[in-house]
Amino acid sequence: MSVVPYRAEYREALIELSLRAWEAVFPLMHQSVPNFVYECFYPAGWERRQADDVAFVLDAEPSGIDVALDGERPVGWVCTRMHPEDSMGEVYILAVDPPWRRRGIARRLIERAESRARGLGMRMLMVETGGDPGHAPARATYEAVGFERWPVARYFKDLAGRSDAAQARRPSARADVP
C-alpha cells in the first residue's frame, strides 16, 4: 500500500469509495437526529448529498488530498485543510473502503495529514465526526492515534413549527431522565 498525491483520474473511484465507506454510517445517524434535521441536510438522500460534496472537495482542493493505493486501485483518501489563523491543520475528509479497513490505512492517511500540517508550521491537527453510533468506529480510530475529544454541543430548532420535533429520537426525552 502506498500513499500518493491526488490525481484527477482517481475522482470517480474516490466518490464511489466514499459512498461505500459511509453506507453503514448514515442509517444509524438518521436514527440519532431529529427527522427535520436529517431532511434538511439530505432532501435528495444522503448518497446524492455526499457524492456532490465529495466531488466538490476533489475538484476544489486537489492539492490537499492524498490517496492510499493498493497497486493502482484507490482504497482510501484524506483531504487536509490548513487554518493558519488557528495554527491548525484539519482532517476534513477521511474515507477507507470497507474491505480495506483494519489494515492501518486510516492511520497512514492521518500520518500524511499530520506531516502536511507540521510541514506548514501548524501546531495542532483537528478532525470532526459525529457523536452518533454510526460514527463510533471513526471516533475510536481518532482516539487510537492520539486525538483528544473536545466537548461540543450542536442544537437545531425546527422553524416549520412541527410539535413532534423536540421529542423525536432523543434519549433524554424519556420521562425517567431529567
| Tens digit of each residue's pLDDT (9 = 90 or more) over 12-46 | 999 999 999 999 999 999 999 999 999 999 999 99
Q: Is residue 158 included in any domain, yes or no?
A: yes
Residue 25, judged by CB atoms within 10 A of its CB (0-12, 13-18, 19+), counts as: buried
Distance CA(173)–CA(171), nearest Å, equals: 5
User: What CATH number does the domain containing 91 carry?
Assistant: 3.40.630.30
Q: What is the pLDDT of residues 49-82, one digit of tens each?
A: 999 999 999 999 999 999 999 999 999 999 999 9
Q: What is the pLDDT of residues 129-144, one digit of tens each?
A: 988 898 999 999 999 9
Q: Is residue 177 included in any domain, yes or no?
A: no
Q: Is residue 104 included in any domain, yes or no?
A: yes
Q: Is residue 49 included in any domain, yes or no?
A: yes
Q: What is the dihedral of CA 13, 77, 7, 112, to 10 degrees?
A: -170
Q: What is the mean pLDDT of residues 147-162?
A: 89
Q: What is the pLDDT of residue 172?
A: 45
Cα torsion 29, 31, 36, 42: sign = positive
Q: Is residue 178 included in any domain, yes or no?
A: no
Q: What is the pLDDT of residue 3?
A: 97
Q: What are phi and psi of 76, to 5 degrees?
A: -175, 165
Grid cell in block for residue 14: 474516490
- Reduced to 3 states, what is the DSSP secondary structure of residue 32? helix
Q: What is the pLDDT of residue 167?
A: 47
Q: What is the pLDDT of residue 163?
A: 54
Q: What is the pLDDT of residue 7?
A: 97
Q: What is the pLDDT of residues 94-132, one digit of tens each?
A: 999 999 999 999 999 999 999 999 999 999 999 999 888
Q: What is the pLDDT of residue 132?
A: 87
Instruction: Name 110's Cβ contacts closer than 8 Å, sequence gap at least 6.
Output: 78, 91, 94, 125, 127, 141, 142, 145
- Parent domain of 151: 2-168
Grid cell in block for residue 119: 510541514
Give yes or no for a contact between 106 and 94, defined as CB atoms under 8 angstroms apart.
yes
Q: Is residue 164 included in any domain, yes or no?
A: yes
pLDDT-derived band at 164, boundaries 50, 70, 90: low
Structural domain count of the chain: 1
Q: Is residue 176 included in any domain, yes or no?
A: no
Please name which of 147, 143, 13 lies closest in space to residue 77, comparing C-alpha atoms. Answer: 13
Say what the pTM is: 0.86
